[in-house]
Amino acid sequence: MDETRIAGRLSIFIIARDEADRIARTLAAVANLSDDILVVDSGSTDDTVAIARAAGARVLFNPWPGYGQQKRFAEEQCRHDWLLNLDADEVVPADLAAEIAALFASGEPPADAYRIRIAEIFPGEGAPHRFAYALSPVRLYRRDKGRYSPSPVHDRVDLAPGARVASLRGTVHHFSVRSLGEQMDKLNAYSDAQADDLDERGAKLSALRLAVEFPANFIKAYIGRRHGLRGVYGFMTAMNYAFYRYLRIAKHWERRLRRDDRGDHGGPR
């Protein structure tokens, strides 16, 4: 067994669907970190399942229930106390893999959960741009100290009161964009899920949001997330992001108008 493998300590789980072009690289990057790598597939029509199994992962099928619910299902199938969650388009570079392995080298890691920086990589980039936007969510955690939120749209680990949280130095490489068209298809579907979530929570958003959502979120992406420093592709992805944020509000309002047309004046349910 490779000396970096955290045998009997760490499970790694990935949720996936139609990721045949990306998942092999993701799995190869963590192959020496765990003896329990799990892929939960929600109905791939390509070779995702075969590729994952060939890479040594356990593969389970679960119909798509939403982001949080699917990750909760995956958590429950993991065999070890410590969990590392990755998406199928995320790659752990060698320095981060070594940092994770070092946490377990002398026994139990000192914290209960660890935030990991995740930086997006656009097509044509081999590594994160120096100005790449990044998030730092909890992705490595003890299963008795954290669980994924059951929300269908909000992808986060809810930690137990008093859980000790630290941050790792390394960065996950996030190859999230196959193409602008594929990104827009994905964001369109996600806007449906967010409109559903708004309805479920009984939200009533102001009509003013229809006017300000696109420009405000273009500024957020182009300036706040520094897409403007990444050339033409940065401009185009900022436009996609802004339209997606507008679209979720537009779909929410369209549903309200349809309910009013039917005589249902109680607002979103």
Task: Summarize pLDDT for 146-195 with one digit per residue, the tens.
Answer: 999 998 888 899 999 999 999 999 999 999 888 888 888 888 888 988 88
Q: Is 115 helix (H, G, I), strand (E, B) or coil?
A: strand
What is the distance between the alpha carbons of residues 49 and 47, in angstroms, rounded to a whole number? 6
Provide the whole-model pTM: 0.86
What is the distance between the alpha carbons of residues 86 and 63, in angstroms, rounded to a whole number? 19
Q: Is the pLDDT confidence value at 244 over 90?
A: yes
Q: Is the pLDDT confidence value at 199 over 60?
A: yes
- Domain at 10-174: CATH architecture: Alpha-Beta Complex (3.90)
Q: Which residue, among 195, 188, 244, has the nearest Cα to 218 in the 3D structure?
A: 244
% of the chain exceeding 90 in pLDDT: 70
Residue 109 Cα to chain centre, angstroms: 24
pLDDT of residue 54: 98
∠221-224-230 over CA atoms, to 5°? 65
Q: Measured in Å, how far apart are the chain's first and last C-alpha atoms?
A: 54
Q: Which residue, among 157, 18, 149, 168, has the nearest Cα to 85 in the 3D structure?
A: 157
Q: Is the pLDDT confidence value at 6 over 90?
A: no
Across 87-96, average pLDDT: 97
Q: Which residue, among 214, 237, 213, 215, has the nearest Cα to 225 in the 3D structure?
A: 237
3-state secondary structure 151-210: CCCCCCEEECCCCCEEEEEEEEEECCCCCHHHHHHHHHHHHHHHHHHHHHCCCCCCCHHH
List phi, psi (to 5°) of 99: -65, -40
Q: Is the pLDDT confidence value at 267 over 80?
A: no
pLDDT of residue 193: 85
Length of the chain: 269
Q: Where are the domains of the chain?
A: 10-174, 180-261
Q: Is the pLDDT confidence value at 268 over 50?
A: no
Which residues, at least 6 apart from 69, have a Cβ–Cβ distance to it below 8 Å?
150, 152
pLDDT of residue 1: 36
Across 73-91, average pLDDT: 97
What is the distance between the alpha carbons of residues 187 and 242, in angstroms, rounded to a whole number? 10
Residue 59 belongs to what H/E stretch? strand 58-61
What is the distance between the alpha carbons of residues 61 and 66, in angstroms, rounded to a whole number? 14
Range from 54-58, 96-100, 167-171, 181-185 carrying the lowest mean pLDDT: 181-185
